[in-house]
Amino acid sequence: MSTAPLVDGGRLVRLQRVLFWTTIALFVVSAAVLTWRAGAIFEHDLSPEVSLKGHVLARSLTVQVNRALALGIPIERLVGMDEFLDDFIEAHTEVAYVAVTNADNEVLYIRGVSVDDVRASLQGHPFYSERTFLIIGNASYYNTRLPLANQLGALHVGVRANYVRKRMMEIGADAVIVLFVSVLIAFEVLTLLISAGIKARINSVMRLLRHINEGNFSYLAMIRGNDELDHLAKRLNHIVTVIDSRFAQLQEQLVAQAKTLPERLTAYRFAQPPTVEFRPALEAIRVPLFLFVLSEELSRSFLPIFARELAGTLAHIPLDVVVSLPICVYMLVFAIATPFAGNLADRFGNRPIFMLGALCSIVGFVWLAFVSSFLQLILARAICAAGYSIATIAVQNYLVSNAPSGSQARAQALFVGGVMIAGMAGTSFGGVLAERIGYRMTFGVGALTSAIALLVFYCSPDTASIKRSGEAHKRRFQFLDLWQLLKVRRFAGLMLFAAIPAKILLAGFLFYLTPLYLMKLGFSQSDIGRSVMMYFLLVYFGNYLSSWLADRFAMRWSLVVAGGCIAGVGLLSILVVPQESLAVLIGIACLGLGTAISTAPMMAIATGMFSQGAGPATTAVVVAVRLLERFGSFMGPIIAAAAVVLAGYRGAIVVIGTLGSICAMALWLSFVIGRPRKKAVANL
Amino acid sequence: MTHFFVSVLLIVSGFGAVGSVQAAKGTPEDPFVVYMILFRGCEEACQGFKAHFQRNQIPVRFVDRDCGQDRKKVAGFVAEAKRIKPDLVVTWGTGVTLDALGPYDNIDPQKHITQIPAVFMIVSQPVEAKIVSSLQGSGRNITGTGYLIPEETQLRAAARYVKFSRLGFIYNPLEANSQVNLKELERLQGVLKFQLIARAVPLGADKKPDKNLIADLVRELSKQKVDLIYQGPDTFLNVNRDILTHTAVELKIPVFAAAENPVVNSKALLGVVNRYSVVGNFTAYQAARILVDKVDPKNIPIEAPRKYSFIINMPVARALGLYPPMRVVQIAEVIDSK
């Protein structure tokens, strides 16, 4: 019998790729065109609105100046005009300058930008109409001129012409984010459609054909729907069933005639009835995972700001520390719940456990949308944390138990990729949402997203996990394991100087300090969302760099040290970069890059330490590392908040950055000192 | 067991009694009766008091009794109030209040109202005047409202209009509240960075402050180059406000007043005050707590409203050539009779 492949696998993969990228390209182009068109329409409508706003502002100011004039104060003797006009300009960012002229068109009072040029320009202008477009120096303004009471003079309000452009840029940036997130969602959905919809079907037909080709008639293909591939599979199933029943008839006849099976038939295998072969498409978990993590990440960039708004008076605790509590409690519950969630998943299976987690999240987010006190906020976040830990453990278990042997790395990549892409999409999109529809509505969107994740999960046949062999998973994590592991000095050093500080930097700097600090520096919620997104973007793409580096050169330790250094020193850039916001962005970028290049090698070193001999199982090491990392995540906001209380935001970033740098140095030292010992261990 | 039933019965009947009183009182058919003892007719505070009840649709029948600035008439009103037993008595001003309700250390149930809950208003220093022993609560069947604004708030607001490094202060040395005022201004010198030049009005042969010397004091302050004169809630100077403020305007010195009278009815340039109508409103709010919510007056703290007004006498501003800054113009209440 020939064993030549029935279908050229490479061709199939190529076909899939072409299909996939064509769809994505079509989507991107159409969405981009749509966004651009919408922008043009918007600009067309916005420009007159802005100059009209100049008119409305000028009117309100005229009323106020007239009030003073009506009191009999001579126009040239108005008192405190500088502060008064400054108040006005400060309250309206689009206003570039305000001026009051007397009846002879002499400028009496003027505040705002390039005062001298504006003064000269206003005095030399005839002003035939109320609204004038003025080009002064290299800037342009919509000037609104309104007469003051009794023709005593006039008031001029100048609105920046580029204000429209700036607003457009901001809206454009938001639109790009929305576009980006739509592409990511489309990407995920396409992956699901192709993997579960097409690939899984082709594969099941191929497997059936391969079985038939091998003379094995004991399996049937799984029927997933009612398309052409399903028709084909049904036909094949029918043929197999018919052959099986023919064989059964033949056997009955043989038994009746007391004959034995002919020699040439013994190589074939039949079954009565044949079993349906089910191989779940691993990628099917991606969409629910992506949506679920997305719902959590939506609030990432504004949670501390929201907490600050809710935090009232908690006696004797500084506000900054109070604000860190929701993040700390979240991380704590997350850490505590994880081992329990793992055990639950072992006992009840992944499917009900994921659904339980998603339900927790929905409840948590709905509560968050309506929370009325700080305590409620903390409790709701705790429910979200429990939900997140339960659901993500269920997904990880699903991937581990369903991945064919040898595909564990791919399964892990599926998980990490999903989390990272959701992080990118969620933080940026969440910022835009918070800016446009408010914090509470964004939590509502989170609840909805979790609900959709639940629905997609529930409806997908691939999420039902197959029965596992059991052996590898019997052994559950125990805290004793953690203690045993920590007794190994090099492991303890790695945790203390790399794993834990990495998470302190992440939770303390990125999740807690960044939103609050950028808010204080006057950034919009969308800006903050985009800034936090940069981290996930760099981690995601930096991972490729990291694995390439790690594979090419045997330099895992160096990568971990370098990652820690980059992150720590990056935060310290605030000491030398004069512009604080830029320093924060550099910090985020360095944190992302540092995390990207150090995370995977760190885990590889940790598991590698115990890979030989009768050490603890790899899964136990992974769980221990995760647990310690979460301890770091818990400590991060507390340390950051305490530092803010003592030294302000800038000081807190310096403290966290110094901590990171010192840990990286300590790791480097212990690595250098520890090296000869490694040989000794190897010799043992 | 019998005891138990008796007590239950008592409690139930007690509630019934309260219930019936509540049901009977404060309805359009049987409105609350508020007896008002006024000093100079139903002016802004009295009108503000009544307006609050009207706005909140609490049915009240007001019995106005005006002594026409003659405190001797108060005794007769007290007697009448005891006879008709209103639900609440309102007194206007420190003098009327003392005559009707008595100082807390010398209450005479014959002369003073003790059984009927009472609320006072337009009393500048209730503790110093011995109407109550503490602002936390009177401990007797009365409460009331103040109207003065803390000196620090006043001066900070004043500085938004008139920058001053030397502040003149003329006061009646015999008035307790002037002494309190003086101490607080002395303390604020360090806080707000100014120098206080304080002058007591000298006493005449009758051992009373001599009003004829007020103008001399203003001239002396002018020589001392004060930037602003502070006129406290001093009764003597309030009566003689015209001498003080007119002399000051002649000498081109602005006057800041702690009460509205010198600004509204004389020539003080500015004041940061609780308008009487606002005080009346706020007093009515406290009165409604007693009538409607049945709060015991002795537990209601004596406070001033916090909705103070910045008032400016515009003719004086023009005369001094000292115009209010734009920021102040937007918030101030301007007295102008061009």
pLDDT in tens, B77-122: 999 999 999 999 999 998 899 999 999 998 999 999 999 999 999 9
Whole-number mean pLDDT of chain A?
Answer: 83
3-state secondary structure of A81: helix
φ, ψ for residue B253, nearest 5 deg: -110, 125
- Nearest in space to A597 (alpha carbons), one of A573, A621, A563, A629: A563
According to the model, what pLDDT value does residue A681 have?
Answer: 42
User: Taking the CA of residue B2 as centre, how many other CA atoms within 13 Å lie in the half-sphere pointing to its CB?
Assistant: 0
Chain A touched by B242 (CB under 8 Å)? no
**Rg of the Cα trace of chain B?**
23
Whether pLDDT at A388 is above 50: yes
Alpha carbons A445 and A462: distance in angstroms, whole number:
26
A643 near A652, Cβ under 8 Å?
yes
Alpha carbons A352 and A538: distance in angstroms, whole number:
34
Identity of residue B69: Q
Residue A65 with chain B: CB contacts under 8 Å: 326
A217 near A268, Cβ under 8 Å?
yes
Sign of CA dihedral A402, A404, A410, A412: positive
- What would the mean pLDDT of B44-57 be, rounded to a whole number? 93
pTM of the model: 0.59
Please give, one letter per residue, the 3-state secondary structure of chain B.
Answer: CHHHHHHHHHHHHHHHHHHHHHHHCCCCCCCEEEEEEECCCCCHHHHHHHHHHHHCCCCEEEEEEECCCCHHHHHHHHHHHHHHCCCEEEEECHHHHHHHHCCCCCCCCCCCCCCCCEEEECCCCCCCCCCCCCCCCCCCCEEEECCCCCHHHHHHHHHCCCCCCEEEEEECCCCHHHHHHHHHHHHHHHHHCCEEEEEECCECCCCCECHHHHHHHHHHHHHCCCCEEEECCCHHHHHCHHHHHHHHHHCCCCEEECCCHHHHCCCCCEEEECCHHHHHHHHHHHHHHHHCCCCCHHHCCCECCCCCEEEEEHHHHHHHCCCCEHHHHHHCEEECCC
Neighbours of A351 (CB within 10 A): 16
Q: Which of residues 177-236 of B touch A (CB under 8 A)?
A: none
Whether pLDDT at A477 is above 50: yes
Most B CBs within 10 Å: which of A65, A67, A79, as the mutation test of the B interface?
A: A79
Whether pLDDT at A426 is above 70: yes
A478: alpha, beta or left? (left if phi > 0; alpha if psi -120 to 50): beta
Alpha carbons B313 and B262: distance in angstroms, whole number:
9
Alpha carbons A521 and A2: distance in angstroms, whole number:
71
According to the model, what pLDDT value does residue A674 have?
Answer: 60
The reply to whether residue A80 touches residue B328, judged by beta carbons under 8 angstroms, is yes
Residue B323 with chain A: CB contacts under 8 Å: 68, 71, 73, 77-79
- What would the mean pLDDT of A493-500 be, rounded to a whole number? 91
When pLDDT is cut at 50, 70 and 90, the band that residue A315 belongs to is low
Q: Which of B326, B328, B338 sits opposite A72 (nearest CB)?
A: B338
The reply to whether residue B325 touches residue A84, judged by beta carbons under 8 angstroms, is yes
Alpha carbons A660 and B259: distance in angstroms, whole number:
62
Whether pLDDT at B307 is above 70: yes
- Please give the structure tokens belonging to residue A638: 């507390």
Residue B329 with chain A: CB contacts under 8 Å: 64, 67-68, 71, 73
Alpha carbons B326 and A82: distance in angstroms, whole number:
9
φ, ψ for residue B309, nearest 5 deg: -115, 145
3-state helix, strand, coil in chain A (%, to 5): 75, 10, 15
Residue A72 with chain B: CB contacts under 8 Å: 314, 318, 336, 338
Chain A touched by B331 (CB under 8 Å)? no
Q: Higher confidence at residue A113 or residue A655? A: A655
Neighbours of B283 (CB within 10 A): 26
Burial track A193-212 (b if 16+ CB lie within 10 A, e otherwise)? bbbbbbbbbbbbbbebbebb
User: What's the burial of B10, exposed, middle or buried (CB within 10 Å: 0-12/13-18/19+)?
Assistant: exposed
Alpha carbons B109 and B115: distance in angstroms, whole number:
9
Alpha carbons A175 and A530: distance in angstroms, whole number:
12
pLDDT tens profile A563-589: 999 999 999 999 988 888 889 999 999
Alpha carbons A129 and A15: distance in angstroms, whole number:
66
- What would the mean pLDDT of A439-455 be, rounded to a whole number? 94
Q: Which residues is B88 bridged to in the sheet?
A: B34
Most B CBs within 10 Å: which of A65, A66, A67, A71, as the mutation test of the B interface?
A: A71
Q: Which of B318, B326, B327 sits opposite A72 (nearest CB)?
A: B318
The reply to whether residue A80 touches residue B325, judged by beta carbons under 8 angstroms, is yes
The reply to whether residue B326 touches residue A77, judged by beta carbons under 8 angstroms, is no
- Nearest in space to A208 (alpha carbons), one of A268, A267, A275: A275
Contacts 24+ apart (CB under 8 A), B187-194: B188/B151, B188/B152, B188/B155, B191/B152, B192/B152, B192/B155, B192/B156, B192/B159, B193/B165, B194/B155, B194/B164, B194/B165, B194/B166, B194/B167
Residues of A with a Cβ under 8 Å from any B Cβ are 64-65, 67-68, 71-73, 77-81, 83-84, 87
* Contacts for B78 with CB less than 8 Å, ≥ 6 apart: B37, B99, B100, B111, B112, B113
Task: List strands edge to edge, sheet with B309-313.
Answer: B195-200, B166-171, B228-231, B255-257, B270-273, B309-313, B333-335
Q: Higher confidence at residue B184 or residue A318? A: B184
Alpha carbons A221 and B263: distance in angstroms, whole number:
97
3-state secondary structure of A394: helix
DSSP per residue over A106-122, as a string? -EEEEEESSHHHHHHHH
A279 near A203, Cβ under 8 Å?
yes
Chain A touched by B337 (CB under 8 Å)? no
When pLDDT is cut at 50, 70 and 90, the band that residue A23 belongs to is confident
* Contacts for B293 with CB less than 8 Å, ≥ 6 apart: none
pLDDT tens profile A101-155: 998 889 999 999 888 888 888 887 877 778 888 888 788 888 889 999 888 999 9
Find the distance separating the first CA and the last CA of chain B, reported in whole Å. Answer: 81
Pairing of strands B309-313, B270-273: antiparallel
Q: Which of B329, B336, B338 sits opposite A68 (nearest CB)?
A: B329
Residue B317 with chain A: CB contacts under 8 Å: 71
- What would the mean pLDDT of B214-238 be, rounded to a whole number? 92
- Please give the structure tokens belonging to residue B17: 């009694």
- If you search the block for the tokens 């009487």, which residue do you land on? B276
According to the model, what pLDDT value does residue B300 have?
Answer: 92
pLDDT tens profile B131-158: 999 999 888 899 999 988 889 999 999 9
DSSP single-letter state for residue A608 = H
Whole-number mean pLDDT of chain B?
Answer: 88
According to the model, what pLDDT value does residue A85 have?
Answer: 92
User: What's the burial of B227, exposed, middle or buried (CB within 10 Å: 0-12/13-18/19+)?
Assistant: middle
Residue A71 with chain B: CB contacts under 8 Å: 314, 317, 323-324, 329, 334, 336
Q: Look up the ipTM and state it.
A: 0.73
- If you search the block for the tokens 């010992």, which residue do you land on? A677
DSSP single-letter state for residue A261 = P
With a pLDDT cut of 70, the percent of chain B lying above it is 93
φ, ψ for residue B184, nearest 5 deg: -65, -40
pLDDT tens profile A596-630: 888 878 888 887 777 666 566 666 777 788 888 88
Alpha carbons B218 and B252: distance in angstroms, whole number:
11
DSSP per residue over A86-111, as a string? HHHHHH-TTEEEEEEEETT--EEEEE
Count of all residues that appear for chain A in the document: 684
- If you search the block for the tokens 């109508």, which residue do you land on? B277
Most A CBs within 10 Å: which of B327, B329, B331, as the mutation test of the A interface?
A: B329
A171 near A23, Cβ under 8 Å?
no
- What would the mean pLDDT of A495-507 be, rounded to a whole number? 92
The reply to whether residue B329 touches residue A87, judged by beta carbons under 8 angstroms, is no
Alpha carbons A517 and A510: distance in angstroms, whole number:
10
| DSSP-H helix ranges across A131-267 | 161-192, 200-213, 228-256
